[in-house]
Amino acid sequence: MLIKSSLSPTSISRRKILQAIAAGTLLANSPLCRAVANQHKPLYIDGLSFLPDDLNDLARSKLEAYLCDISAIEAIKQDDGTTNYKRTYQACMKSITQALDRVRQHPQQVLLGKSGSDIKLAQESARTAVFFQIQGADCVEQSISKDLYQVDEFHDKGLRVLQLTHHYGNLFAGGALDNDGKQGLNLPLTTAGEQLVAKLNQRNMLIDVSHSSPQSAIDTAKLSRSPIVQSHGAARAIVNHARCSPDEVIKAIAETGGLFGVFMMTFWLTRENPPTTAHYIAQLKHVANVAGIDAVAIANDYPLRGHKELLALDNDNAQGVKQYVPWWHSLRARGVLGFDAEPEHVVIPKLNHIDRMQRIDDALTKSGFTSMQRDKIMGGNWQRVLTSVLS
């Protein structure tokens, strides 16, 4: 339900708010409550999360919008014994259909984001806009000679963001974790990848180079006619790891008018223990120093409430990191960059929380970021890019 003029931010007095609280009518998820909150913060837009089991989490997160990974995976054993998780066509077509049905069934809480203008519409109607994303172009399975028609099928279902790879290379691009056992393979964008980039540009879909090899990301930046993003990642200058991006990649993305979202997976944010909000802010500062404030953004890569297993463990990183150790050691055996260092943590406890955006915003203020800089980091940059690319 749209907020009526009588409930507009300019007409809400402190006395009315206190009266509503006293009467028990100012509900946490109500349009009035969200309108009041919106007077005191910038747009909050997240680079990657998922549709929550409880849709009330949308309002609790204080997000106006976010990139919503709706992909489904198939675990595929590779020749070297490691496991790749591919988003196949059948699995993703089923999952996007289910996600679309769920969004349509809850129009008062969630809005399917198809263009940048939907962010403002969601804000005005006290909803959250979700922009469907798939982590890996493995879902585009048909031959190139057929004009990549599966991209059109996904677009018709509401897909607006496509990631080229997930960890490992595919038909289109090299992956961040591709390795020859001695040194990292920095594979370029393929001919098929060039055609996919052109197709995504033509359909006004946002290209995401998260998990891509550095060369594939740079090739994409040079080729794309629209801004590209790395929706979720970290800086290799801080943690020397294959999954983290070199400064030249961060710069190349920024030069397209795109952005780089810093995520919450702490073994790629810092080698220090325990991980803190200061380590997260340090990553944001690095991206700003390398590529400018217009390139900095927030990402999650966990559910809105946070990493489920770590929450169940009361954010005990020493216990929670154990689930990653077998996978980590399998990559160490292959000699992939950065896996020689033992992982010690998974989350920043203070940010593994549904109120992380407000906590990051507060930390930015304490760290000396101006109001204008905070507005860009917390959501303004995402709004600009989504508005520029999508139609």
**Extended strands (E) in the chain:** 45-49, 65-69, 74-77, 83-86, 110-112, 128-135, 159-163, 206-208, 228-233, 259-262, 296-298
Could you tell me whether strands 74-77 and 83-86 are parallel, antiparallel, or unpaired per DSSP bridges?
A: antiparallel
For 125-264, strand residue ranges (E) read: 128-135, 159-163, 206-208, 228-233, 259-262
47 and 185 belong to one structural domain: yes
Q: For residue 159, is it left (φ>0), alpha (ψ between -120 and 50) or beta?
A: beta
Residue 86 has a pLDDT of: 83
Q: How far apart are CA 47 and CA 209, in angstroms?
A: 13
Report how many domains make up the chain: 2
pLDDT interval class at 18 (50, 70, 90): very low
Single out the residue of 299, 278, 245, 302 nearest to residue 368, CA to CA. 278
Q: Are residues 33 and 51 in the same domain?
A: no
pLDDT at 6: 33
Query: Which of 14-28, 161-175, 375-389 comes out lowest in average pLDDT?
Result: 14-28
> Is there a single domain that holds both residue 209 and residue 75?
yes
Q: What is the pLDDT of residue 73?
A: 85
Q: Are residues 299 and 354 in the same domain?
A: yes
Q: How far apart are CA 263 and CA 18, in angstroms?
A: 37
Same domain flag for 331 and 235: yes
pLDDT at 14: 42
Give the model's pLDDT for residue 7.
Answer: 35
**109-118, 171-180, 230-239, 266-275, range with the lowest pLDDT:** 171-180
Same domain, 3 and 87: no
Task: Output the pTM of the full model.
Answer: 0.88
Q: Are residues 6 and 133 in the same domain?
A: no
Q: In which band, very low, low, confident or very high, does the pLDDT at 229 lie, cut at 50, 70 and 90?
A: very high
Same domain for 191 and 308 = yes
- pLDDT tops 70 at residue 1: no
Q: Are residues 124 and 20 in the same domain?
A: no
**Measured distance CA(159)–CA(179) in Å, rounded:** 31
23, 85: one domain: no
Q: Is 173's pLDDT higher than 60? A: yes
127-151 pLDDT per residue, tens: 999 999 999 999 999 765 568 999 9
pLDDT over threshold 90, residue 357:
yes
Examine the domain organization and report whether 20 and 53 are in the same domain.
Answer: no
CATH code where residue 360 lies: 3.20.20.140
pLDDT at position 32: 55
User: What is the pLDDT at residue 16?
Assistant: 47
Query: Residues 319-335: pLDDT tens digits?
Result: 999 999 999 999 999 89
Q: Residue 91: what are its φ and ψ, rounded to 5°? A: -65, -40
Q: What is the pLDDT of residue 11?
A: 38
Residue 391: pLDDT band (50, 70, 90) is confident
Which residue range forms the structural domain that includes residue 34? Answer: 1-40
CB atoms within 10 A of CB 115: 16
- pLDDT confidence band for 4 (50 / 70 / 90): very low
- Looking at residue 31, what is its pLDDT? 53
Quote the tokens at residue 103.
């969004």
Same domain, 76 and 14: no
Total number of residues shown for the chain: 391
Mean pLDDT of 294-313: 98
Residues 6+ apart with CB under 8 A from 154: 92, 93, 96, 134, 139, 162
Task: For residues 118 and 112, give the distance between their C-alpha atoms in angstroms, rounded to a whole number.
Answer: 8
| 3-state SS assignment for residue 47 | strand
- The residues, any chain, with a CB within 8 Å of residue 362's CB and separated by 6 or more, are none
Res. 77 pLDDT band, cuts 50 70 90: confident
* Alpha helix (H) residue ranges in 125-168: 149-156
Residue 164 · residue 139 · CB < 8 Å: no
- 224 pLDDT above the threshold of 80: yes
Residue 231: φ, ψ to 5°? -65, -35
